[in-house]
Structure 1
Amino acid sequence: MPYSPEDKKRVITRLSRIKGQAEALARAVEEGTDCSALLQQIAALRGAANGLMAEVLDSHLRELFGSSSNATRPAVIDPDAEIDALMKMLRTYLK
């Protein structure tokens, strides 16, 4: 979860772009746009979503394993359990 104002703003900006791409894709479908153009728009939308996921995952990893001086960092009780949970999450999203 992005906590800093800069991180939140960056995520909101990405989400706004993704929303715009999704709306443009819906319009293209309604207008009967050629399949090759639709596929290109879908690939761009998927890339944007993957970029957002990478950014949020990066933030999560930095919170989890960052320096102990970070006040927003949650306490890690069992690092092995946290790594197992992270790997389970990654496997889910990488399908």
Structure 2
Amino acid sequence: MAHTIRDKAKLLARVRRIQGQAAALEKQLCDETDCGAVLQQIAAIRGAVNGLMVAVIEGHLTDHVVKEADPAQRQQDLDVALGVIKSYLK
């Protein structure tokens, strides 16, 4: 079973928290909230997205690289992960 299926409930909970944080940010902007609070909310959203990314990458590396028996498939899965990490860190 793929890690995103196995961890579906946890991942969806994270996504829903991010949605809630984004909605709160939108409300702050509409309400013309102090910029300090807006910045803090943006930082919280970034942290939540980073946490989601770490959870999915960790599952991918564990399930598709470490536990993969076929060396060719392992390399392909590693290349996918590395490409995403490089893109994410730009």
The normalised TM-score by structure 1 is 0.79
SS across alignment from 1:15: helix
Q: Are residue 56 (structure 1) and residue 56 (structure 2) matched? A: yes
Greater percentage in helix: 2
Q: Distance in 1 between matches of 2:63 and 2:87?
A: 21
Residue 25 of structure 1 aligns to a residue whose secondary structure is: helix
1:83 aligns with 2:85: no
Report the count of equivalent residues.
88
For 2:13 and 2:76, locate their aligned partners in 1 and report how far apart those are by CA, in whole Å: 33
Aligned identity (percent) is 39
Amino acid at match of 1:2: T
> Structure 2 unaligned runs (5+)?
none
Q: How far apart, in 1, do the equivalents of 2:80 and 2:68 lie?
A: 20
Runs (5+) with no aligned partner, structure 1: 70-74
- 1:10–1:78 distance in 2 versus 1, CA, 3 Å: closer
* Deviation (angstroms), 1:87: 1.9
2:5 aligns with one of 3, 6, 9: 3
Amino acid corresponding to residue 86 of structure 2 in structure 1: R
